């Protein structure tokens, strides 16, 4: 497999952003976010590329990737489902919903289903506690007041999508 | 519209939040956005005047520490010969807190105008909004508002012919609670893991790339426009002495109407919970209230009438913190809540100070085995001992925050822990 490379447009975006900071090292978080968006995860090959683009040692990239929980070094499922289980969500049924989802998928929190479709994670407070329990899917919009019916629908839709993609 | 009479003011930062499409510049302009900044530029209001008004307003930081904003600003040296930076702290991660999110997603131009005025006052030309990585939608709303502001000439070079330059950059975090601590935030924007720095030097003297840096919370900065419009004295009449203005209280947990309620400081805990948040779901009164976010020591029934101010909560041995109010009623297993919070701090400790790195893990493990029914009689003492030896012995306050719920549990409800231990395998 050839080494990953950012698109020209991305590289230009990065250089535009570089002008906003006194030092290039500040680009690390934004560029890692871009890399994860483009490549799905930030494995060592991607980290090497990021180190080169930002102009810092690989070690500095690794240190950041492993410190911040949103960066992942390995691929996750097609749907990443993250359940907040902190205090306000917990007293609003978050663990029951997490258990329900895991049982339905036959996995434990932190695991990915064998078909590669779902990764379920327990996460810390998402900062939307009035909507407890709160769930975030694929680092996208929040689902507030999540319930079993919503979980069922999400699972069903994801499976249907995958089937359609396979059929194509 | 915020009333002219300060005694009538109920809301400041969320006053326009319910107006549809407020995030759009044209709508925001119709409702007064950017007008104060416009006047500041046109009249060339001296920066010292703005700092003085903020000092006179009595505004205290809305992020958690409650430090006087004007005083913080005045610590920036005038002759450092280096650029000064402004960091808007939007890393809203304290469990129970969800107020800055509403300002950013409903009225982003209010925040941007506050940042612009603060930047003018501090001589800042590069400001950053450090937003938690999970707030993807909110970061997008902010970026759209910033793009519109650039296009309309409210940001950029030589704004409105004033000679003043200001760039605002949204910088996303990536899932680390500790980056809400101001020096960890600075480390993070420098592209490093968010490990808090030893202080002094304070960021106002040596912060971002060793240059003077002011870090202010979203709600704090969103309060600046009205202070400059109406004057510091006007703001100082809202709320209570030394605890002026309005505050957003994020109420969650076991209440009938969880949500953000912005009210003048000094409102009683009872009024907030019963009249605004609809009261508790089970029983008539909360069993425990965690004010100020998960790091705040717990309050019980005896504090139900307490006025919500920085000073009153400190006097009661707790803190106003971020204004998060987690309400727990009779149905809640408090030992499990303490365990869950301990687990949070163990996960979020940055690991550089031994008492915190090791202590948070111990608290989580011991509470975990108590919850599972494997606790021992010594555990109660070990918990209290470990928690008491963490607080105040580290670079930042995370360890204090981790100790608070555990100490609250073992000191206020020792019998609950005891029952779990004695009752095991019975």
Residues in A closer than 8 angstroms to B171, CB to CB, are 26, 29-30
pLDDT computed for residue B258 by the predictor: 98
3 state SS of A84: strand
Give chain B's mean pLDDT: 96
Task: Supply the pLDDT for residue B391.
Answer: 86
Q: Which helix (H) or strand (E) holds A158?
A: helix A148-167
| Contact across the interface for A60 and B132, Cβ inside 8 Å | no
CATH 2.60.40.10 is the classification of domain B334-422? no
CB-CB: which of B98, B169, B340 is closest to A127?
Answer: B98
pLDDT of residue B369: 95
Using DSSP's 3-state secondary structure scheme, residue B365 falls into: helix
Q: What is the pLDDT of residue B426?
A: 40
Query: Is the pLDDT reported for residue B8 higher than 80?
Result: yes
Task: Give pLDDT, residue B406.
Answer: 96
Q: In this complex, do A68 and B174 lie within 8 Å of one another by their Cβ atoms?
A: yes
pLDDT value of residue B425: 45
For residue A28, list chain B residues with Cβ-Cβ distance below 8 A.
Answer: 191-192
* Residue (of B295, B228, B238) closest to B64 by Cα position: B295
> Tens place of pLDDT for every residue, chain A, 168 residues?
689 999 999 999 999 999 999 999 999 999 999 999 999 999 999 999 999 999 999 999 999 999 999 999 999 999 999 999 999 999 999 999 999 999 999 999 999 999 999 999 999 999 999 999 999 999 999 999 999 999 999 999 999 999 998 887
pTM of the model: 0.97
Fold classified for B6-236 = Rossmann fold (3.40.50)
For residue B424, name the pLDDT band (cuts at 50, 70, 90). low
Phi, psi (5° rounding) for residue B254? Answer: -95, 50
Residues of B in contact with A32 (CB under 8 A): 174
Give contacts of A128 with chain B, Cβ < 8 Å: 98, 101
CATH class of B242-328: alpha beta
Q: Which residues pair with B216 in a beta bridge?
A: B88
**Best of A14, A23, A29 to mutate (most B CBs within 10 Å, chain B):** A29
In this predicted complex, what is the ipTM?
0.97
Nearest to A30 among B134, B171, B347 (CB): B171
The DSSP code for B160 is G
List chain A residues with CB under 8 Å of B191.
23, 25-29, 54, 56, 60, 64
**Which chain B residues have a beta carbon less than 8 Å from that of A30?**
171-172
The pairing of beta strand A135-137 with beta strand A142-143: antiparallel
The three-class DSSP label of residue B60 is strand
Q: Which residues of B touch A142 (CB under 8 A)?
A: 137
Closest CA to B122 of B69, B161, B192: B69
Q: What residue of A is the nearest CA neighbor of B249? A: A130
Question: Is A139 in Cβ contact with B191 (below 8 Å)?
Answer: no
Using a CB–CB cut-off of 8 Å, the residues of A that contact B are 17, 20-23, 25-30, 32-33, 54, 56, 60, 63-64, 67-71, 85-88, 90-92, 123-132, 136, 139-142
Do A129 and B192 lie within an 8 Å CB cutoff?
A: no
Strand partners, B307: B268
Q: Smallest CA–CA separation between A123 and chain B, in Å?
A: 9
Domain map of chain B by residue range?
A: 6-236, 242-328, 334-422
How near does any CA of chain B get to the CA of A133, in Å? Answer: 10
């Amino acid at each position: 497999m050839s080494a990953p490379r950012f698109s020209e447009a991305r590289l230009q975006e990065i250089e535009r952003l570089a002008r906003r900071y006194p030092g290039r090292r500040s680009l690390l978080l934004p560029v890692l976010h871009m890399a994860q968006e483009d490549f799905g995860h930030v494995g060592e090959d991607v980290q090497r590329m990021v180190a080169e683009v930002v102009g810092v040692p690989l070690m500095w990239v690794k240190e950041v990737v492993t410190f911040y929980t949103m960066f992942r070094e390995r691929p996750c499922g097609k749907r990443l489902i993250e359940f907040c289980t902190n205090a306000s969500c917990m007293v609003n049924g978050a663990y029951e919903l997490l258990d329900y989802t895991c049982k339905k998928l036959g996995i434990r929190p932190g695991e990915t289903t064998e078909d590669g479709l779902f990764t379920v994670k327990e996460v810390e407070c998402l900062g939307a506690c009035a909507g407890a329990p709160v769930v975030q899917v694929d680092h996208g919009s929040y689902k507030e007041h999540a319930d079993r019916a919503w979980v069922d629908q999400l699972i069903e839709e994801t499976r249907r999508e995958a089937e359609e993609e396979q059929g194509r | 519209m915020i009333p002219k009479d300060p005694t009538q003011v109920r809301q400041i930062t969320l006053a326009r939040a319910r107006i549809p499409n407020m995030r759009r510049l044209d709508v925001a302009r119709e409702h007064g956005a950017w007008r104060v900044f416009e006047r500041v530029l046109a009249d060339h209001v001296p920066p010292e005047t703005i700092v003085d008004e903020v000092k006179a307003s009595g505004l205290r930081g809305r992020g958690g520490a409650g430090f006087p904003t004007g005083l913080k600003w005045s610590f920036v040296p005038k002759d450092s010969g280096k650029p000064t930076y402004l960091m808007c702290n939007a890393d809203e991660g304290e469990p129970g807190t969800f107020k800055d999110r509403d300002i950013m997603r409903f009225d982003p131009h209010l925040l941007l105008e506050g940042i612009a005025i603060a930047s003018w006052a501090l001589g800042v030309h590069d400001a950053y909004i450090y937003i938690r990585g999970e707030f993807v939608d909110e970061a997008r709303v902010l970026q759209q508002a910033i793009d519109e502001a650039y296009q309309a000439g409210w940001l950029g070079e030589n704004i409105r012919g004033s000679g003043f330059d200001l760039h605002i950059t949204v910088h996303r975090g990536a899932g680390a609670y500790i980056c809400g601590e101001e020096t960890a935030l600075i480390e993070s924007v420098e592209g490093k893991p968010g490990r808090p720095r030893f202080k002094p030097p304070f960021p106002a003297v040596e912060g971002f790339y060793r240059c003077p840096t002011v870090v202010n919370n979203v709600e704090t900065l969103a309060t600046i426009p009205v202070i400059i419009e109406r004057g510091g004295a006007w703001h100082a009449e809202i709320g209570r002495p030394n605890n002026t203005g309005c505050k957003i209280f994020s109420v969650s947990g076991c209440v009938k109407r969880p949500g953000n309620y912005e009210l003048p400081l000094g409102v009683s805990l009872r009024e907030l919970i019963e009249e605004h948040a609809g009261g508790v779901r089970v029983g008539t009164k909360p069993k425990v209230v965690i004010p100020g976010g998960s790091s705040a020591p717990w309050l019980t029934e005896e504090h139900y009438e307490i006025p919500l101010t920085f000073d009153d909560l400190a006097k009661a041995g707790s803190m106003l913190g971020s204004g998060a109010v987690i309400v727990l009623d009779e149905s809640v297993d408090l030992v499990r809540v303490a365990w869950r919070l301990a687990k949070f701090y163990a996960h979020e400790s940055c690991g550089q100070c031994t008492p915190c790195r090791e202590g948070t893990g111990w608290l989580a493990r011991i509470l975990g085995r108590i919850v599972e029914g494997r606790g021992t009689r010594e555990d109660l003492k070990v918990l209290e001992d470990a928690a008491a030896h963490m607080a105040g012995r580290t670079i930042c306050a995370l360890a204090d925050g981790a100790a608070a719920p555990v100490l609250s549990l073992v000191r206020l409800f020792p019998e609950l822990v005891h029952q779990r231990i004695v009752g095991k395998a019975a």
